Structure 1
């Protein structure tokens, strides 16, 4: 595929895979939008391969996860080296890497997150949870920052971009507790379950729903802290990139806030953000982006920091 065909493939992928990200990506300038969509296509393909999904839906066990990871690493390395892979999603990464100074370590860090899942890994502590969130989402935030023109050496802005990815993943974990349990996974730290006296593997039993709701609110509160920190990085971005980032933060942040609001009913039906709410955040984010240089930056005191 030539670049135009790869962009078309990526645009269809994001439209089917994430309505929230698709809505936010429309706010970028055309060049940044295309690169963001190309990067999304690669992330989506890796995520689907690791989780046995199709466009983020229908998680099922992967027959040979190590082989899938090996193929993912091989194709990613080829793409980053500027070699054709024969897979449009990985070739899309190659285009982004060629057009930006995308550090290869971020791409490899993301795959390391999928490797944790392949090992059946579960967090024992809150710090473990943040480390996982970095690998599967914070690293993507860092890549997106580079796509938006952030210097790869600008650690302060990359930390804020990482915080946004962590906020998104904490919201995902809060929303998907039931789906993850059905797939044999749990991203609630074991230490948290001990605190509320819930036996391992039993957290979805109806009798524990009130206690599980406490953890849903805890995840939502953490997501809100990282979202607030991420907003502090908007001043380093061009207007349209800041607009897209702030819209995505609000849209995705509402997922965590809705989990907290529903309490024990949060996992009876999948939490989503409606079209009206998305449009509302796009309007609000436009106003926030226009004032981004005058808004005070929230300190990162006490927040987990990505590995250097």
Structure 2
């Protein structure tokens, strides 16, 4: 199969440039957002920003390895098996925990919109840390499995894809488990956003809280866009063989979608989230727009 794919006329150098460029670009954007959130803690001290901060760290982990994969394509270099296995374990487990972060973010928005009186209880300083720790624990748990001899995720340079090594005994189990995990967590996130939409309609009818709804909606849009695109990428990765042609360009497109998923958060932060956008403009000494703070909930204590 690999031999036949190599006769498809695909330009390996161009594919390597595309992967390396976008992975590096999004990695840089994530680092900038992390810098803003970390150095302006008094401004971004709401629980949702702590969640976005850790999602940014997760994105940086994935993008760093995607960048390495891009350089491997450019240099026509195959990673040593052990290093390839370690990188594959980290990038896939980070993706696994990213889904948990996405659900946690949706639950944050659900309480902020629908049950604000319970928000400070569920997202106190201690409980927020517990939720973030649980998301990272999901990564560590799966990391142990992926580093074991029973399963290997690795980068196939010739076909531009991260894929399971089918010679390992648990590859099919982990592949299916990953799909079931996404099918469990993402619908729960969509349910949260569904209730938020219903709540927003009622908020628009009440003039005394209409302004508050407009302030909260931007962060909610950011979280919902992340959830929708993540679901699309996950389903495409699992089912692309049924509707995509057998081509290295198909593999490149799937890998590029994954890279773009890691870049969605900083893109939305710098476009939809006006608080972070204005902080960025202030960082680069550009006159910022006058706007209300996007998250109006009280800081967690």
Give the structure with the larger helix fraction: 2
Higher Rg of the two aligned structures: 2
TM-score (norm 2): 0.34
TM-score (norm 1): 0.34
Structure ranking higher on relative contact order (CA contacts 8 Å, 6+ apart): 2
